[in-house]
Amino acid sequence: MAAQRTLRRTVHCAGIGLHSGQKVTVSLKPAPADSGVRFRRVDLRGAVEIRAHVSQLGARQHLQTGLVSERATVETVEHLLAALCSLGVDNVCVELNHAEVPIMDGSSAPWVYLIQDAGIKELAAERRVIQILRPIQVQQDDKRIAIYPSDRFKVSYTISFDHPLLRLQQKTMELDEQVFANEIAPARTFGFLKEVEMLRQRGLALGGSLENAVVLGETGVLNPLRFEDEFVRHKILDVVGDLALVGHPLVGHLVVHRGGHALHTALAVEIVRQRDAWQFVEQPDAVVRGVRVPAAMTQPTVSAS
């Protein structure tokens, strides 16, 4: 059976918070079996830890996914969680000196690179996977998300916006480490130029730029795309990161129509709540193929210890 995994060594990087605009330093550190992913705010007295779990979700998930404890918050966790989950890192301590995980280039590709640089270490504990037994679904107006029984993890995602380039995009993918790293991780977050000033007046998107987001004007994109359908690919990235808050890998077919962080995390809450809809299974051992982010994608400056 497959073993739980952590990082082989500690790695460090720095970046800018998308909404705060503040410089943030991050360290990814090995952690023991069954500890899960934990964020550690080292800028606070006592170095507060926040578990990456649905039980720690903030009150409102809109432009990002945030976690809270009695003493602290950590925000914009989804891109890092997507990379950790998809590369099979079960246990890690994420130390940071600010409330917001840096946006890097707006995708998960820099985090994939960082995890690869740290290396993967197997632990003496078996990994347990959640296998979906019956459908679990959430609907909010015309937005829908559901997960159905399947023998593998698959995502079908549809987006629809009132914009010439985004009227409708749909994609279905079976995800494993290789597919995520090459086909999903490089897809960047996106936003609309007409909304930027409004967001900044509300104290949001202060660190946003063409270096870390795809920006859409009235009739086109202001910076080159990495994929023709980069927008829906990034939505798949987001939902993978948000559902990582369930705490275990999922085996099921995820279907999303016009989703966002609030809808994604609502399903994560329902999965944990509806305990009769799934069962724990031990993941069969498998040969893990080497995963490499395409060289053209942004790589962070990394230091190790």
Could you list the pLDDT tens digit for every one of the 305 residues in the chain? 799 999 999 999 999 998 788 999 999 999 999 999 999 999 998 889 999 999 999 877 778 999 999 899 999 999 999 999 999 999 999 999 999 999 999 999 999 999 999 999 999 999 999 999 999 999 999 999 999 999 999 999 999 988 877 779 999 999 999 999 999 999 999 988 777 767 777 777 677 788 999 988 887 899 999 999 999 999 999 999 999 999 999 999 999 999 999 999 999 999 999 999 999 998 765 433 334 444 444 456 555 55
* Homologous superfamily of 1-305: lpxc deacetylase, domain 2 (3.30.1700.10)
Query: Across the strands, what pairs with 278?
Result: 132
Active-site residue flag, 261: yes
Check 98, 234, 253, 261 and give the catalytic one. 261
Query: Across the strands, what pairs with 250?
Result: 130
In angstroms, the CA 291 to CA 305 distance is: 22
In angstroms, the CA 115 to CA 174 distance is: 22
The per-type count for the chain, helices as H runs and strands as E runs, is: 6, 20
Rounded to 5°, angle at Cα 29 from 19 and 261? 35
